[in-house]
Structures are given as structure tokens and as C-alpha cells.
A and B are shown apart, each in its own frame.
Chain A
């Protein structure tokens, strides 16, 4: 029961629990890859988007405005932390990643390197 009480109260200290994988949509068009991740309860200052070489990691901590004297009756969200890592490939331009967080949905736009974008090759008449 003590465990469940902690589930909905917010703790700022690091927990040892393994973070939850955020659900994602990933799609690619001619200009780049877009990643949408559901991270409800994560605000901008609790979100961490990190790039280490080819590894892109997204991490967020759920912070709810919970009254101090509240005790949990029911908890489906039990781990207040999201984390997921992706490997980028070389044709993507990691330096120009754009991140946007709105209503608990993180949108990452990873553009392709300019030279990797599809282009039409002109055939010149000999």
C-alpha cells in the first residue's frame, strides 16, 4: 500500500524504477523523419532530449499538481518517468533537430542532410 501511495505523489528524487517507454509514431517523408511521443504530465522543464553521437534519447519526468494530503485509491500510471532511445542514421542532420512539446506530446523533427534529400539529376545532352 505504501508503494501505491507513492505512485501518484510526485517525488523529485531519482527513483530506481525502470522508466516507461513512451508510445511513439515515427514517419518519414522526403525532407526528414518526424517522431511523435506521448509523454503526458511532462512539462518543458522536465523534458530532456539528448543526442550522443548517433543516439537520440528522450526522457521526461511526470509532474502532477498533487495535493500534499492526497492518498492514492487507484493508479494505472505507476512509474513517473519516460525514457526511450533511438539510433539515427548518417544521412540525418542531427544538428538541426527541432523539438516541440505541446499538451504532453513531444514532436521531434529530424531533417535529412541537404545532400541526402532526393533531387532530380539533370541529364545533359551530349
Chain B
């Protein structure tokens, strides 16, 4: 169900740096609950999720995408983000000779899924795309928010 695009940095130093980042990430996540839908480091887009008293906030780090081409769906509390990222590297067509030195940026179709907490209201969703970050705010169900009950 999940497609991920893995692109590794190419030079040796970059590879070492990637390993270092992988290790530091693995150790910082240790002990925290992992999601069954989580994917390996290097997935596109990377996702951060936070929670406020009134909403769940999802940040997807997806630079260089046409906002109109992002497809967002919520079905049974699973938020799916998918879309297409086109390469910025000109195609080799023989007429314009282009030499490619580095091609680390992921391209092609991407899709990720995040399971949301049970208490969200899937009808109250806002999504904004700014500086290459897609922010999706899903309001919490009003019924589960703390309410003061007057004692008669």
C-alpha cells in the first residue's frame, strides 16, 4: 500500500552522514511507540505529527510540489497523502548535453498514510501548503473536548 521513494546521497562522506543521521534518529525514537504505518528513514515526504487541545496537526515536508497536485483523503481515521513530484533535472535528449553530478532528490509518485487518533472530526480539516511544507489540521471531535458541567 505504501510507496516510498528512497534516494541515498552519493558520495562516501554523504553516505556516512546518512548513516549517522539514521543512527541518531533510531536512538531518539527508541522507547517511543512506533506506528504500524511508519516507514524507513528516507521516505518522502517526511512527516511530523503534533497535537493541540483542539486539533491534530500533520506536517508533511514535501518541497517543490504543485499544491493542486497533492491528493489528501481521510478514510476511517487514516489520512493519506499522495501526489507526484517531477524532477528538476532536464531530460537527456541529446540536443542539450547535460552532465548530471548528483541526483538525490526523490521524484515520481509518492504516497504515505498516517493513522489519526480516534477522537478527530474528519469533516473539519484544513490544509495549507507553504515553503514546501503541507500542514493538515484536523479538528478534534467537539464531543470529546473537556466540557464544564454545571451542577444544579
Contact = CB atoms under 8 A, between A and B. Distances in A.
Contacts of A7: 48
A67 B52 contact: yes
A93 to B, nearest CB: 18
Contacts of B50: 8, 66-67, 70-73
B83 interface: no
A72 B48 contact: yes
Interface residues of B, number: 53
A120 to B, nearest CB: 15
Nearest to B102: A26
Contacts of A27: 89-90, 98-101
Contacts of A43: 131
Contacts of B63: 38-40, 103-105
A43 B133 CA distance: 11
Interface in B61-93: 61-65, 87-90
Interface in B41-67: 41, 43, 45-53, 55-57, 59, 61-65
